[in-house]
Amino acid sequence: MVKVIIDDIEVEVEPGTTILNAARKIGGDVVPPAMCYYSKLQGSGGKCRTCLVEVAAGSAADPRPMPKLVASCSTPVMDGMVVKNKTSERVYDNRAAVTEFLLINHPLDCPICDQAGECHLQDLGFEHGKEGTRYEEKRRTFDPIDIGDKIKLHMNRCILCYRCVYTANQLTDQRVHGVLHRGDHAEISTYIEKAIDNDFSGNVIDVCPVGALTDKTFRFKSRVWFLKPMEASCECTKCAGKAVVWMFGDEIYRVTGRKDKYGEIEDIDGKTAWICNECRFDKKDKTKWNIEGPRVINRHSVISQNKYIVDERLETKKLN
């Protein structure tokens, strides 16, 4: 085990652990944000640069600071490493700059975006963004594209995190989905207008940190905070059948994989909870699911809105 100090908090982790995962072991606001890193996707990370942190001491053996900020999702910890995240002004400044870069071509259309309430860029913008923009140039725009009959891609919102590309590469057996062009002309697309034809292709929606990839069976039907997320399971031959069904009354509006507190697909009994397309898109009938109970949602999330009854006596007590 190696010891590392992140924002003055010491934590012991396995050798080879990245700074980001060491911070996740501590939890709370010590954890850098991550738009492109996704623990279940091999090779992901290092691209969005939102997780840059300052390494004030490289290791106990070589305590020199690292000159540049480093991507915490791809930098392994060393014994005695000292990392600054929320305690570093430099990190805050650069994260604000990355947020500004990401918002150059990402519209602030949260009021109509399907991802509102679940969007990592929305959180990042709230914490690091500014009310105005210095970008005066014309923004790039695209027409929405259908990727198969159930998934819609709207490149206007894409921040090129590559998560969906890795998902498609790892969960499908044909490489038909990737990045075209270079620089700020780069775009996600399917190879020569082919659709991703795979039982697990719907997972590209779950990994998208913004609202670029949407579920056409749910798109624009409801805001997520009006729905009740319920843990549910079903008998399925293709996947583990463990999902979250988002209900309004007795009606299932959408089905997603189970995600952990960092928005990543959970491990259940050692297996990932990637769900198949049939469970995601076709099982909208309550009788097909065994509803296990309400999903635990962070109380600070907008999804928790109106879901908790405030105990007035406790509130009064607090006020006094």
**Does position 92 bind other proteins by CB under 8 A?**
no
**Does position 181 bind other proteins by CB under 8 A?**
yes
**Does position 137 bind other proteins by CB under 8 A?**
yes
Q: Which of 1, 16, 61, 134 binds other proteins (CB under 8 A)?
A: 134
Stretch that binds other proteins, among 107-115, 183-191, 222-230, 295-303 (CB under 8 A): 183-191
Please report how close the Cβ of residue 45 comes to other proteins at its closest, in angstroms. 7
Q: Which of 138, 300, 313, 318 binds other proteins (CB under 8 A)?
A: 138
Instruction: Please say whether the beta carbons of 79 and 107 come within 8 A.
Output: no
CA distance 296 to 141: 37
Please report how close the Cβ of residue 76 comes to other proteins at its closest, in angstroms. 8
**Does position 61 bind other proteins by CB under 8 A?**
no
**Does position 191 bind other proteins by CB under 8 A?**
no
CA distance 297 to 301: 7
**Does position 98 bind other proteins by CB under 8 A?**
yes
Q: Which of 16, 111, 132, 183 binds other proteins (CB under 8 A)?
A: 183
Question: For other proteins, which is the closer residue by CB, 108 or 291?
Answer: 108
Site string (195-224) toward other proteins, x via CB under 8 A: ------------------------------
Where do contacts with other proteins occur on this chain (CB under 8 A)?
Answer: 45-50, 52, 67-69, 71, 74, 76, 94, 97-98, 100-102, 104-105, 134-135, 137-138, 159-160, 162, 178-179, 181-186
